[in-house]
Amino acid sequence: MRYLSTRGSAPPARFSDILLEGLAPDGGLYVPEHWPRADLAAWRGLSYPALACEVLAPFMDDVPRLRQIVARTYTKDVFGSDEITPLRTLAPGLCLLGLSGGPTLAFKDLALQLLGNLFEDALAARGETLTILGATSGDTGSAAEYALRGKRGIRVFMLSPHGRMSEFQRAQMYSLADPNIHNLAVRGTFDDCQDLVKAVNADAEFKARHRIGAVNSINWARIAAQAVYYFKGWFAATAAGAGRVSFAVPTGNFGNLYAGYVARAMGLPVHRLILATNENDVLDEFFRTGRYRPRRQAQATSSPSMDITRASNFERYVYDLVGRDGARVAALWRALEASGELDLSGLRDRIAASGIASGRSTHADRIATIRAVHADYGVVIDPHTADGVGVAARLREPGETVVCLETAHPAKFAPTIREALGREPERPRGYEALESLPQRFQVIDPDPEALKRLIAGTGQA
């Protein structure tokens, strides 16, 4: 498989070239040159790792040990069940696809656990090392750390805003004792953390010398890994008798929804992809109006992992929307930077034809949905999942089965669960005493030069 840039002027690349890269050199995002065809008849009934191999093989055709890597990644030991992503039917036409069985109790583990193993394999083959520098306000940082802990040749420096994460999230990250994991609590906000990452990356010489990389949500391997559970969920729902199957997807960066788009582009007969945003509704606005207007500032909400100002993966969707015309995408993004807006309302028909419905969910909706799902089915869902379930309940058509993606375990968001249900969410086994484990982190000032000295002075574990 060759990968092209959405802006059309970077040279085509192979998967192993883009695995460790972020943006293409022309500022675009990499997309596969064509969509491989799914073989639904042959894939039905496969175990999760076997299915993952089939879905991923055409995208990763230059990874010689893919089968072993995938088999090592998707195990009951890591994800808590043999199904990896178990489907639960709540009512006729309404299911939950459990994506939060991984070590950090959120769906990001499904992609990042694979990424960690792909990185380790690629670095060992090339005899190289890698320094991952990232900023997190919650789920991504811990999923990345749990995926990269103890990996040979990889050091992780994860910046987080000092004193601003939930107790659970802090304990989850800071209790890791692996010598290759470095938690840096920045005296400042999440934006300060992101600015630090940018400042270090802007020093090209430093970046090259220390092989600084990222694991952000535009990484193609993450998207491909997420496409797998759409297949798994569709097979499980149709085996249980569903006819028209749609997915309800809580999304912020458009990563989770775009993975569903990829599955459908490969031939999975998904009826609709139902996109759900929180109060940060850039994407909902786009699918209603055809106008994309990234915001200056994100609003802090009770589904915090979807608090974004711009949807990084959205450019990949627009690339297909304009007929895979890279020059057109480059011009659109120049206009976006100049005017702060992308007006694609002229393509309304094409947008509608892509089968994406959308809705927005507020704090009150979230609380009401958590209550209703608990009262009706005895199941506790997390606030992000509630955004999806709430929007799905409003938009569901007669005869449609909606598979709602369960993106996090409620234990991660106890204050919102307390507000909705008046009690603590249950903790999964092994997480009961998380906050009492010893924590290891270093508090730093938001000073790029000091951060560079710290990275340069820290040895390879």
Ligand X SMILES: *Cc1c(COP(=O)(O)O)cnc(C)c1O
> Which residues here bind ligand X, judged by CB under 6 A?
106, 108, 139, 217, 250-257, 305-306, 384, 407-408
Question: Which ranges constitute the DSSP H helices of 85-179?
Answer: 108-126, 139-148, 167-174
In the complex, the smallest distance separating the C-beta of residue 274 from ligand X, rounded to whole angstroms, is 13
In the complex, the smallest distance separating the C-beta of residue 411 from ligand X, rounded to whole angstroms, is 12
Phi-psi category of 188—alpha, beta or left, where left has phi over 0 and alpha has psi -120 to 50?
left
Closer CB to ligand X, residue 331 or residue 434? 434
In the complex, the smallest distance separating the C-beta of residue 168 from ligand X, rounded to whole angstroms, is 13
Closer CB to ligand X, residue 218 or residue 455? 218
In the complex, the smallest distance separating the C-beta of residue 456 from ligand X, rounded to whole angstroms, is 31
Closer CB to ligand X, residue 133 or residue 283? 283
Residue from 392, 97, 397, 406 nearest 274 by CA:
392
207 is catalytic: no
Max distance between CA atoms of the chain, in angstroms, equals 62
Look at the alpha carbons of 189, 194, 200, 203 in this order and tell me if their dihedral is positive or negative. Answer: negative
Closer CB to ligand X, residue 257 or residue 268? 257
d(CA 102, CA 405): 14
In the complex, the smallest distance separating the C-beta of residue 107 from ligand X, rounded to whole angstroms, is 6
In the complex, the smallest distance separating the C-beta of residue 101 from ligand X, rounded to whole angstroms, is 13
In the complex, the smallest distance separating the C-beta of residue 372 from ligand X, rounded to whole angstroms, is 19
Beta carbons within 8 Å of 125's beta carbon, 6+ residues apart: none
Closer CB to ligand X, residue 36 or residue 388? 388
Q: What angle do CA 60, 198, 148 make, to 5 degrees?
A: 45
Distance, C-alpha 114 to centroid of its chain: 13
Amino acid at 304: P
Reduced to 3 states (helix: H, G, I; strand: E, B; else coil), residue 340 is coil
**201 φ, ψ (degrees, to nearest 5):** -70, -25
Closer CB to ligand X, residue 400 or residue 406? 406
d(CA 94, CA 8): 41
Closer CB to ligand X, residue 131 or residue 277? 277
Closer CB to ligand X, residue 180 or residue 361? 361
Residue from 239, 43, 232, 144 nearest 247 by CA:
232
CB nearest ligand X: which residue?
255
Reduced to 3 states (helix: H, G, I; strand: E, B; else coil), residue 68 is helix
Spatial contact of 381 and 303, defined as CB atoms under 8 Å apart: no
Spatial contact of 184 and 134, defined as CB atoms under 8 Å apart: no
Beta carbons within 8 Å of 157's beta carbon, 6+ residues apart: 131, 132, 133, 134, 182, 184, 451, 454, 455, 458
Residue from 167, 164, 113 nearest 427 by CA:
167
Q: What angle do CA 186, 25, 125 make, to 5 degrees?
A: 80
What residues does 160 pair with on adjacent strands? 185
| Number of other residues whose CB lies within 10 A of the CB of residue 215 | 27
Q: State the DSSP string of 37-66.
A: PP-HHHHTT--HHHHHHHHHTTTTTT-TTH
Closer CB to ligand X, residue 100 or residue 401? 100
> Of 108, 151, 232, 412, which residue is the catalytic one?
108
In the complex, the smallest distance separating the C-beta of residue 346 from ligand X, rounded to whole angstroms, is 26
Residues labelled as active-site residues: 108
